[in-house]
Amino acid sequence: MFTAQQIAILINAKIEGDASVIVTSFGKIEEAKNGQLSFFANPKYEDYLYTTQASVIIINENYTLKEPIQATLLRVNDAYSAFATLLSKYQEIQTQQLKGIQEPSYIAKSAKIGENVFVAAFAYIGENVIIGNNVKIFTGVFIGDNVQIDDNTILHAGVKVYAECKLGKNVIIHAGTIIGSDGFGFAPQQDGSYKKVPQIGNVVIEDFVEIGANTTIDRATIGSTFIRTGAKLDNLIQIAHNVEVGSNTVIAAQAGVSGSTKIGKNAMIGGQAGIVGHLTIADGSKINAQSGVSKSITEPNQAVTGSPAYDYTSALRSQAIARKLPELEKRVKELEKQLQQLLIEKSV
């Protein structure tokens, strides 16, 4: 339960209306009820701004109202970002309340556990594991031998972290994700069979990374698979052995990155995109959904699409021309008829 005044302090907002009004939960602007807080950032939802029952609304400071509204307004520079900040604070308060070790759970005697750590029932923590302060480990999490987990990291239900892997500070990993399973390494033999290549490296996840549910990140054959600081990975993503995902790069669901590919910082990769192995993807690259990248992107801030992927603008032009092909075919046939008629007349 918070007042508008308390919320304004958290997000550095200017108050318009009753600063003492109380909210107890959050609601979407089209569904919010009295006593709830909402936000308005997308112009498509403008009509709901004047009909919502929300008690408090976070809104951009430069937005001009067309009609009077009953809610208390919290004016900020960026409403969407401020709302995200507020939700983070709310979630932080909730998770901070979780402390202690539930039973039954297994923690090896050689493991080192920091302060204010929460370990839920049915978690497993292996030998020589080092866990920092304020870490939250939920039900069914497996942490293999010699894993290191730094402060404020959260592992949701069913996460598996294989031996030797390292997780930085403020990392969030959602349910069912597997960190450090074997890379896909098999050597073809003369008889047509395949011999497994042992995968003896690890996975290193740096600070402020968030990884969605049921994503898999393979350990390196030798060395490390890297997820750099601030990267955000969606659900159902496959990251192969020895891949490097650069700082603040975002990857949407069902994308796959093959072995030893290096992705630069601030890249954006759409859903179901596929990147073959041993490539370099330059900083700031934008790869459209369902694109197949088979060659390195060497120039920063390029956008590509298609399979095989190529320059986004050129691809749009090609698509526009392709849509006109039936009409062009008709015109060519008409010209052929006219040319044939001219030849007949000339011969006569």
Give the residue numbers marked as catalytic.
241
**At a CB cut-off of 8 Å and minimum separation 6, what does 111 contact?**
125, 126, 127, 128, 129, 130, 131
Tokens 């500070």: give the residue. 169
Q: What is the DSSP secondary structure assignment for residue 227, as one 8-state letter?
A: E
Helices of type H across the chain: 4-11, 46-49, 79-96, 312-323, 325-347
Q: What is the DSSP secondary structure assignment for residue 235, as one 8-state letter?
A: S
Q: Is 266 left (phi over 0), alpha (psi -120 to 50) or beta?
A: left
CA 338 to chain centre: 58
Cis peptide before 104 (omega within 30 of 0): yes
206-to-128, 162, 185, 216 alpha-carbon distances in Å: 20, 16, 25, 16
Token pair for residue 65? 């109202």
* Crossing angle (nearest 10°) for helices 4-11 and 79-96: 100
**In this structure, which amino acid lies at residue 234?**
D
Token pair for residue 77? 């520079």
CA 336 to chain centre: 54
